[in-house]
Structure 1
Amino acid sequence: MLVSQAQSAGLADKIQSWIGHGENLPITTDELRSLLTDQQIQTIVAKTGLPAGTILPALAQLLPAAVDKHTPEGEAPTTTV
């Protein structure tokens, strides 16, 4: 889902850098806002109890490394519904 959302937001190169091998490109808070839907942001806010203005900058710092760590083979995981 994140990969398709990134393509729609024009951020596919950033997400691919996190998934692939090599340097992880940074993401700004504004880019993160364009990547996530309002519903996704509200879910994160509800689950953390933190305001979006606090959680989004932290997420922008942590997300590249988290995606990189969970894609050690350099490929996005496939999911089935």
Structure 2
Amino acid sequence: MDLTEIEPLLVRYFNNELSSAEAEKVAAWIAGSEEHRKTAEHLYYINLAAEAERLHREIDPAEALRKVHRRIRSDR
């Protein structure tokens, strides 16, 4: 597999979105060479950063704090 074929599979692999057969193929590709392992590692960290950024945009810290304060007041 070349990089254009493996990239989307790696992202799905890291998100646990592959069938077991697909995951085995990706794991075999990663184990196939040091270059593949490094490529997978780089894409893993890029995927992790993208997910963190997505969550950061979705979460409103001020609203989350208001919810905590409301729960504290209701528990009293």
TM-score by length of 2: 0.30
Larger Rg, first or second structure (1 or 2): 2
Structure with greater proportional helix content: 2
- Please report the TM-score for the alignment, with normalisation by the length of structure 1: 0.28
